[in-house]
Amino acid sequence: MKAPDHPVPSGDRRIGRLLIEALAALPGVTVDLACHLRSRDPSGDKAARFAALGARAADLLVRRYERDPARRPDLWFTYHLYYKAPDWIGPQVAAALGIPYVVAEASLSPKRTEGAFAANHAAVVAALRQAAVSLNLNPRDGGVLRRVLPGLCQVPLAPFVDLTPYRRAADARKAHRHHLAETLALPMDRPWLLAVGMMRAGDKEASFRLLAEALAPLADRPWRLLIVGDGPARPAVNAAFAPLADRVHWLGAWDETALPPLYAACDWLVWPAINEAIGMALLEAQAAGLPVVAGDAGAIPAIIRARETGLLAPVGDVVAFRAAVAEALDRPGAPLRVAALAATAAHHGLPAASARLATVLRDLGVR
């Protein structure tokens, strides 16, 4: 996947950076980004090439560590390996150095045992057989991993963010709402819905299209929709919302550091989350006290407590999603806002993630 220092934003990059931050917060821990090789293989025809590149990179790294023992790692950590992006480097380096190999957000798709992705799938299975620990950010990955690799040590790690900027924004909600109302000429007495997502073909575009379809019959209700995001599918997304043009405010791409005040100012985040694995924007919204209407994909039910901090609908069901949005428009948001702040503070903050990672390292004898 993308390296944590890749210039293009994405959920993977965000989670990668947060994992580094959580590890680096531990006393005596230094995190080194070992390699920038991207092994994403969307069609499954590059396995041999990536295997060769990975072997070469692993050999270079092992030689570097042997020449400079001060840089020799005590543990190898790989984030997000699956059948389109195996880890061709980490297992070899860890084996050569005799150090623990740890993975986070690994997933298996048994149907890929045959076909174009068979070699990639086999590489993921081999890596997981070597793994000392698999950290699961998405609880739904655990069942498949357990069936295929019953001996794999799995440790849950709840998705997390640094809560500080979101808490600060939540405390200043009224000021942020007044500022946004003035900036965008938004009526203060109407619900503000928010959608945040990259505009690219595939699942993201499908989520935007479903959102537009769900909102169209609700045009007789008093709401405004703010959309944050950009990308190659922007024309298609614009076209999907054309019938709602007078209700939609296009904000373009925003840096993640600018989002907390926006989350805090709005009334509901609405996102169908088609094939979403984690849903970082949903977690960020909750951290700022923003209730969420979302599809119940991936780890989202572990982030959104249904009917307590938000509303969930079956993924891809436009009728159910529309009903959930309609309920949200009729529902007072204050109790859900308070519950969202409490839930994220208890389960999804950086300290909780660092504590879980500290336990893993200690159990492996690394700290």
Q: Which CATH class is domain 11-160+349-363?
A: alpha beta
Q: Is pLDDT at 1 greater than 70 in this prediction?
A: no
Residue 4 has a pLDDT of 84
Residue 8 has a pLDDT of 76
Q: Report percent pLDDT > 90 for the chain.
A: 90
Q: Is pLDDT at 120 greater than 90 in this prediction?
A: yes
Model confidence pLDDT, tens digit, residues 52-99: 999 999 999 999 999 999 999 999 999 999 999 999 999 999 999 999
Look at residues 185, 199, 293, 179 and name the one whose alpha carbon lies nearest to residue 246: 185
The residues spanned by each domain of the chain are 11-160+349-363, 164-347
Q: Under 8 Å CB-to-CB from 273, ≥6 apart: which residues?
A: 207, 279, 282, 294, 295, 296, 297, 298, 300, 315
> Which of 42 and 361 is assigned the larger pLDDT?
361
CB 311 within 8 A of CB 292: yes
Model confidence pLDDT, tens digit, residues 151-163: 999 999 999 999 9
> Which of 293 and 277 is assigned the larger pLDDT?
293
Model confidence pLDDT, tens digit, residues 174-217: 999 999 999 999 999 999 999 999 999 999 999 999 999 999 99
Residue 354 has a pLDDT of 98
Domains 11-160+349-363 and 164-347 share a fold: yes
CATH superfamily placement of domain 164-347? Glycogen Phosphorylase B; (3.40.50.2000)
